[in-house]
Structure 1
């Protein structure tokens, strides 16, 4: 759907409304035709996720998130869960608890009474946590988090490997002074991405330079401030690896303020593959967080009947666009 929106020059919401045949929306005939032309050219087939199946004899899976609205990733995970459940003729019930343990307990009790097939317990931030006691009444699986006691199957992104792959891509372009802008230090994802960055440098026999590592906050404001700091005092890096795509937005802004050209005078790498990565100029090379695939894995795990507490670390693919390569640098 993202590709259809990009090809037709409209938002993903517009594509969704056109494909769902909503005639009461004030979308022009020309826009509808443009969207459908892009659909045909790209061979796109709507997933039909979220529509209740004709028969729900197979039951219900509960999906519990602490937060949903703070990032796009919860929605992507929900789509992945719904797609996999739809294929098995299963309905998904989604709740957002805000991390309230009393509310979690009541919902888990309700799903127990409904004889739910299982429960997916998800966190918006990748972290280790103590799963609620009520989850023990269910066949449970953890999404984007892990249980310190290793009682449940869980799936998280392979963040260290993602950071390593991203840094290797910059090294392959001939960059040697590679900076890293982190998220806040308490964030597991940021910490592990930095570990991968350092691991890749050491593997290439490039010394880890502490002056090229600057703390950000996973927001454009932090990316801008960190980039300005990196570019002062003649410490200019060849490339800047940003711990997420929003940080890269601020990095681009700072570089342009300084008269630099992202992807030409300083290479930039992001992480997450948020939609904005495609629309930056130049388009942002980044690493995909596999939230859709993680959601699908959780459903498959529940339906398989395998209750062993496997700990899955899912690969984060590299998405190469334009920003990681400086003209005339490397191969």
Structure 2
């Protein structure tokens, strides 16, 4: 999906809508034709949907075919990331003749309890994807203990439920390693809010990549940001004011990378000729910077798909077998190479 989107110059959501032939999507014939042409060139084949006769059933007693997947999430409107995970879950569910019902709880215990009760009362409920907007520890509600459930972007150390999270440490490592392979040995790192798991893990990956390459870790090259472009701008100005400024800057998200690009332009530095810049998330804006931003993908779409696939497998088990062994699945954060990193 990422490869097709990159080659066609569109978003992953657009690719999904075209390849799933969604008639309600407002896409031009030209866009549809371009996506299909690129998909064919790259050898992409959409999995064939099974017929409704063999759609998933629960392992419990026979009854109405269970094809409703509940999707509980604490927030969805303040970030683009959870929406893309919903897209992945919806597409995977549809391929298995299931539909997804999304409930946004805003971390309100009463709303969450009401949503769970409504889902459990539905005779066609197959199971629940329990998700959070930010990767964090979560406590599974007791009301879901008797329902097939998968944790998405969160984890509960006291449960043995299938758990889907992004491979953030590996992503931080891969991004830093890409800059090292391009000949950079003095690499600045502008992190997000340090209390967040994503920030901690991306920094951990950065440090591990330096250690693997036998490069010293210099705390002066690390700045804590706030995930916003202003944090990237200020962090870049601070890094470039050092007696030995970095030749590359790794920003822990794309918005901060935008701020870094702006700061470097203000300083009269050319990207990537003078300083290389690497982002993280692969948000839509990263395709339209000048030059286009090299970045790491936060695999929200793939995580949503993986959550549904894990839920289907969990629901197929006998009730006494569910939750017998914790399955932690970390989804890779691949590199999207564009034009802001140059070999020295």
| Distance change >3 Å, CA 90–CA 34, structure 1 → 2 | closer
1:114 corresponding residue in structure 2: 122
1:318 corresponding residue in structure 2: 335
Query: How far does residue 225 in structure 1 lie from its aligned partner after superposition?
Result: 0.6
Q: Distance in 2 between matches of 1:140 and 1:22?
A: 30
Q: Distance in 2 between matches of 1:81 and 1:42?
A: 24
Quote the RMSD (CA, aligned, Å). 3.0
Contact 1:4–1:35 (CA under 8 A) maintained in structure 2: no
Q: Distance in 2 between matches of 1:140 and 1:251?
A: 41
Q: Distance in 2 between matches of 1:157 and 1:324?
A: 24
| Distance change >3 Å, CA 9–CA 172, structure 1 → 2 | closer
Q: Distance in 2 between matches of 1:40 and 1:101?
A: 44
Unaligned runs of 5+ in 1: 48-52
CA offsets per residue over residues 13-60 of structure 1, 9 Å max, x none? 8x979x86679x8x9xxxx4543552454247998xxxxx99994421
2:80 corresponding residue in structure 1: 72
- Does the alignment pair 1:297 with 2:306? yes
| Distance change >3 Å, CA 182–CA 4, structure 1 → 2 | closer
Equivalent runs, 1:80-91 vs 2, <5 Å: 80-91=88-99
2:197 corresponding residue in structure 1: 188
Query: How far does residue 234 in structure 1 lie from its aligned partner after superposition?
Result: 2.9
1:95 aligned counterpart, secondary structure: strand
1:270 aligned counterpart, secondary structure: strand
| Distance change >3 Å, CA 137–CA 103, structure 1 → 2 | farther
Equivalent runs, 1:136-285 vs 2, <5 Å: 136-285=145-294
1:61 corresponding residue in structure 2: 69
Query: How far does residue 208 in structure 1 lie from its aligned partner after superposition?
Result: 0.3
Unaligned runs of 5+ in 2: 47-51, 56-63
Normalization by structure 2: what TM-score? 0.83
1:109 aligned counterpart, secondary structure: helix
Query: How far does residue 77 in structure 1 lie from its aligned partner after superposition?
Result: 0.7
Contact 2:160–2:327 (CA under 8 A) maintained in structure 1: no
Contact 2:250–2:279 (CA under 8 A) maintained in structure 1: yes
1:117 aligned counterpart, secondary structure: strand
Q: Distance in 2 between matches of 1:77 and 1:9?
A: 17
Q: Distance in 2 between matches of 1:205 and 1:229?
A: 25
